[in-house]
Amino acid sequence: MLHEEEVLSDLQSSLYIARCVELGKEAGIHYLVMQLLGDNLSELRRTTPTKRFSLRTVSQLGMQMVESIREMHENGYVHRDIKPSNFCIGLPTATADDGDGPGDGDAP
């Protein structure tokens, strides 16, 4: 978790990264409180009547997702777990996971 704290701290000026509200350690357990965001893209897609996004929506979301990844790369970080469930709706779309952990699909 210490690496995730460092990544979030370095990227707090980005429009595309979830805000860190508080971090600390209590009774030997590290914790991280992040801003509340909307649904992730996997959840949002599942709730649409057709289970799909329109071409216009895909285009708009895709451009924001690419921009968020570009900003991470420009700051020296590589997201190693890019998937729809790691992008949450906000203003604009924000990355909720720094991708530093091992890829485990969409499992909780």
Q: What is the pLDDT of residues 28-85, one digit of tens each?
A: 998 889 888 999 999 999 999 999 999 999 999 999 999 999 999 999 999 999 999 9
Asked whether residue 85 is assigned to any structural domain, the reply reads: yes
How far is C-alpha 76 from the geometric centre of its chain's CA atoms? 16
Report how many domains make up the chain.
1
Position 99 confidence tier, pLDDT thresholds 50, 70, 90: low
Asked whether residue 21 is assigned to any structural domain, the reply reads: yes
pLDDT of residue 4: 79
Token pair for residue 32?
């991280």
Which of these is catalytic: 39, 81, 98, 100?
81
8 and 100 Cβ atoms separated by less than 8 Å: no
Torsion of CA 85, 89, 95, 101, to 10 degrees: -30
CATH number of the domain residue 74 falls in: 1.10.510.10
Position 93 confidence tier, pLDDT thresholds 50, 70, 90: low
List of residues 6+ apart from 25 with CB closer than 8 A: 31
Structural domain that includes position 86: 2-95
Asked whether residue 50 is assigned to any structural domain, the reply reads: yes
pLDDT of residue 91: 58
Tell me, yes or no, if 81 is annotated catalytic.
yes
Asked whether residue 58 is assigned to any structural domain, the reply reads: yes
List of residues 6+ apart from 65 with CB closer than 8 A: 82, 87, 93
Task: Report which of residues 48 and 95 the model is more confident about.
Answer: 48
